[in-house]
Amino acid sequence: MKSRTPLIFFLFFCFMAITGIILGEPAEVYQKAVTICLSCIGIG
């Protein structure tokens, strides 16, 4: 495996995460995470 592969992967996923942040995805994660998902944990 070429030694630059980790750097390429790291930069690619950094770019992906930053794109997600620009698109406002952390707010969606937050919205889901602060709600008790009753069906997800098998209640209700």
Partner 1 sequence: MERLRHIVQLIFAFVANCRLYITPSNPIYKGPLKHVCFPGLNCYSCPATPWACPLGALQSAFAGLKKNLSMGKLNMGLYVLGSLGVVASLIGRMPCGWFCPFGLLQDLLFKIRLPKIRLWRPLSWGRYIALFILVIALPIFFTDKFGFGETWFCKYLCPAGTLEAGVPLLIMSPELRSAVGTLFLSKFTIMIFFLIWSMVTVRPFCRTLCPLGLILGFFNRVSWLRLNFNRKICVDCHACELICPTDVFFATGRDDINSTKCIRCFRCYALCPGGAVTIEFSSIMKGQVEDIEGCHCNQEQG
Subset of residues 1 to 44 that bind partner 1, contact rule: CB under 8 A: 1, 3-7, 9-10, 12-21, 23-30, 32-44
Residue 36's nearest CA partner among 8, 44, 3 is 44
Residue 30's nearest CA partner among 15, 39, 20 is 20
Minimum CB separation of residue 24 from partner 1 in Å reads: 7
Minimum CB separation of residue 22 from partner 1 in Å reads: 9
User: Rounded CA gap, 10 and 21, in Å?
Assistant: 16
The residue ranges that bind partner 1 (CB under 8 A) are: 1, 3-7, 9-10, 12-21, 23-30, 32-44
